[in-house]
Chains A and B, each alone.
Chain A
Amino acid sequence: MLWPIIYIIILPAALTIIYNLLVIGRQRVKSAWSQIDVQLKRRHDLIPNLITVAKGYMQHEHEIMEEVATARQIAAEASSIKDKEAAENVLSNALHSFFAVAENYPRLKADRVMLSLHEELVSTENRIAFARQYYNEEVLRYNTRVETFPSSAVAKLFGFTRKEFFKIEATGDRQAITAGF
């Protein structure tokens, strides 16, 4: 009497619950990733404005501005997580050196459009950092579920795989722009 109950009721119920938990976890990772994407897009949209404003003041710094523009172009075109990671790091470094150069142009620093643009950039960097933090937390939770028993067995059965973390160099994001300006 006991075994049929286990086979018919408890096992399928447990299977369903675990499967659903895995699906929910995967969905959360997905939505966390889309949040990162939104914020990265925001960053890419701000950079042309930044360059337009800076052009008026930094006529002799073509190189650095071109570096930022190309880095942005590459970052905007990257698609896989690994590519994005690399491209965003290059972009962060380019922005960092841009703001280090901009330090020498007090009129640019005092420009009103530049002030609000700077605030937007700082905010965007924070948003990216927070979105990344949230994404990595969700990935950690999901990966733990995929790898620990008994959900690991269900994961293997239905083909749930580990997700990748998203890393941006620590020097490249939150501190760079605030410290450089």
Chain B
Amino acid sequence: MPFTHLEIEQRKSIIIILLFIILIVIYFMGTWFAAAVAGIGLLFLCPQYISGYGFMPSLSGNLWILGIALISGAVHWLISTANIIPRISALLGAMPLDDKDRYHQRFKNIVEEVSIAIGGRRIECMVIPTTAVNSFSVADFHGNSLIGVTEGLLARLSRHQIEAIVAHEAGHIVSGDCLITTVSCSLFGIYAAAFRYITVSIENSIENTAVFDEDRERDNRNNDAFIALYLLFIGCVVGVTAFFSMIINTLISRQKEYRADALSVKLTRNPLALAEALHIVSGSWCGAGHGIENLGSIFIANPAYEEADEGEGFVPDLISTHPPMSKRIKVLLDMAHADIRTLDNPQQADPTIASAEQLPAEPAPKWFVSKENTWTGPFDMDHLAALPGFGPDTWIKAEGEDRIKPAGREPSIAAWFNKGNLVPFKCPHCELALMKSEYEGTSVYRCSHAHGLFVKKSDLMKIIIRRDTAFSPNILKLADIMAGNSEQARAMAMSSKQIKSSISCPQCGITMNRRCYSIAYPVLVDICKTCNVLWFDQYEMELLQALVEKTAPNLA
């Protein structure tokens, strides 16, 4: 470690005391100006009552103001630093991990590995469901800490690279920088971010560009005047809080990022992986959602683009919380004795999260089923599952055999019953029960007969940005054609009205809507607005993925 433990503790407490003093000073100045303005106002309006009251508050007046500032500053401090971690993670939209998701499991494993490297300190982990590539860490006074990454980062970085990023965040946590940035963010940044978040969501609901939100448009028009007033008020608050958070940002040293990079290398002994990871982070969209600009200092790369971040010298050092990315990468490359060209050929691809679907299936055994004393069939496993009344006590016999037995006695079928694979959803085309399956590391429901996919909207983004599945040449060709004629396809998508689909939602049974996924990616899909789920017919999912990969290689 670059510091001994004692030095870290002292430095930490000095900066935190300094933060508190700044807060008091800000409140003092605020109250003082308010008192002065009130004094002047009273002087003009009713001078007869306050003959002794001048422009400046008197000494006792100043003491009063100081008292008010101290009390309100302390209240502000207490409110802001209570429950910091849940509040910041809620504001960032971070979600707990999904234990069925392969990528999330891997991330959890990596965090646990790194926490062993720093001596077994428990670190929680969360994921922000956006396509951006970024990571953050927060810590509080009680020694709790949290490392969060975006879905985009999980999808685009290899195991070694994620390990390097997590070790960087762990470096922030053990060196105490994380607590300082977290506290400073909680004082002002969190309010600015919260107000901006509200503002943006209001603007969004006015503009209504999201896929699912177009019906709300009409309801919102009536409230326009109210919203305009509200926006004005919010604008003032955002301005003030953003100004103060900028002042506090000047306190946060840019050096902390270099320090955490060095600690990451010390833990993982792999400077090249961190350099590659930073290269990918800097080359992608870093923004992690709306309203996080003021929380930028807890992220590994500033989510908002700021010119000062790439500059050096006194002024950029003062106002920027992140050092130039190119310099960070260069330091790491020097450690690895490599040059910038090595970043174009990453160390090794990551084969660990391969999809289980890529192999051709073996011919499955087929079974005859006894139904009202006649044998029907042969059925494969999926058909069996869909038969009405099929259970462990149904009599079956294998194709080509004469031995009769209950389905529960046949090991392969019994295993299937035990796995809990049977889900209550049915394929809208062929009425077979959907099977729980895995696609791009996350769980989806699949019809093995019609080859359709049933996906929750919240899982769709993960699938689109991950790229484990290889596409067939036909799909790639089709995606090429669509990407080549993008103008035409877009025009078509914009002019086409959504139509009632021929199928009904597997979840709620209401007829779905068939429409383009979005104007940019005009693939027709079936959407159920009530349940926020999508049905992809065969190849539609692959086509959408291939199209995204073609047109936005940085995203997928």
Contacts and interface: CB of A to CB of B under 8 A. Distances in A.
Nearest to B359: A110
A123 B109 contact: yes
Interface in B391-414: none
Contacts of B345: none
A17 to B, nearest CB: 13
A115 interface: yes
Contacts of B109: 119-120, 123, 126
Contact of A112 (B110, B159, B356): B356
Interface in B301-351: 351
Nearest to B358: A110
Interface stretch (B115-123, B200-208, B276-284): B115-123
A111 B358 CA distance: 11
A45 to B, nearest CB: 15
A109 B113 CA distance: 24
A122 B112 CA distance: 13
Interface in B418-446: 438
Interface string A77-112: 000000000000000000000000000001101111
A122 B159 CA distance: 10
Contacts of A178: 159, 352
B164 interface: no
A112 B354 CA distance: 10
A111 B116 contact: no
Contacts of B113: 123, 126-127, 130
B114 interface: yes
A134 B119 contact: yes
B515 interface: no
Nearest to B362: A107
Contacts of A119: 102, 105-106, 109, 352-353
A35 B358 CA distance: 38
Contacts of A131: 116-117
B190 interface: no
Interface string B349-392: 00111101011000000000000000000000000000000000
Contacts of A122: 159, 352
B356 A35 contact: no
Interface size class for chain A?
20 to 34
A115 B356 contact: yes
A118 interface: yes
Contacts of B106: 119, 123
A110 B356 contact: yes
A62 to B, nearest CB: 23
B356 A111 contact: yes
A39 B117 CA distance: 12
A115 B117 contact: no
Contacts of B117: 130-131, 133-134
A101 to B, nearest CB: 17
Given A130-B114, A130-B117, 17 more contacts: A110-B354, A112-B356, A115-B353, A115-B356, A116-B105, A118-B352, A119-B106, A119-B353, A122-B352, A123-B112, A126-B113, A130-B113, A130-B267, A131-B117, A134-B116, A134-B120, A181-B351
Interface of A: 31-32, 35, 39, 106-107, 109-112, 115-116, 118-120, 122-123, 126-127, 130-131, 133-134, 178, 181
24 contacts: A31-B120, A35-B116, A35-B120, A39-B116, A109-B354, A110-B356, A112-B356, A112-B438, A115-B352, A115-B356, A118-B352, A119-B102, A119-B353, A120-B109, A122-B159, A123-B106, A123-B109, A123-B112, A127-B116, A133-B117, A134-B117, A134-B119, A178-B159, A181-B352
